[in-house]
Amino acid sequence: MKLTEKQQELIERIGVFQEKTGMQPVAGRIIGLLYVSDRPELTFDEIREVLGISKSATSNALNLLQHLNRLDYITYSGDRKRYFRLKLDRWRSLVLKEIDSITDLSVTLREVVAERTGETPEYNQDIQELADFLKYMHQELPKLLQKWEESRK
């Protein structure tokens, strides 16, 4: 399998984006590859070869991505290979999970305000305001997702 220059560039860009969200480099590039590859299902060896990485790196990254629920594989009877593919339908729940993490900070900030001295009312209110905003976002974002789903139909 050969990639055009443009495909390679896209893989890198997607890879870098993923890295910024905390993904390991090789895993990010695998995601990129599966986005741009003409065939959306690639074997272990195809991935390894086209990205020029070792078997161990390939194996580890693929397993990581499966644990993160970003990847899947299917098999075809009479063919021992696994065909890895992105779980594109999962991004909704990934977004929701991301949104949930907002709550953690909001809750913590509420505790902060409760614990703070009463002698800094303005400061306390600033923190409270941030906590409130985060809570608001946490309530509204799922609605936004829902609204979008509906506008699709």
Q: Which does 56 bind (CB under 5 to 8 A by kind): a second copy, DNA, none?
A: DNA
Residue 8 within binding range of DNA, rule CB under 7 A: no
DSSP-based three-state secondary structure for 17: helix
Structure tokens at 150: 């509906």
Residue 127 within binding range of a second copy, rule CB under 8 A: yes
Residue 7 within binding range of DNA, rule CB under 7 A: no
Residue 74 within binding range of DNA, rule CB under 7 A: no
DSSP-derived letter for residue 43 is: E
**Closer of 59 and 76 to a second copy (Cβ):** 76
Structure tokens at 27: 């895993």
Which sign does the torsion angle of CA 13, 49, 24, 67 carry?
positive
The residue from 31, 34, 62, 71 that contacts DNA (CB under 7 A) is: 62
Residues of this chain that interact with DNA (CB under 7 A) are 24-26, 43-45, 52-63, 73, 78, 80-82
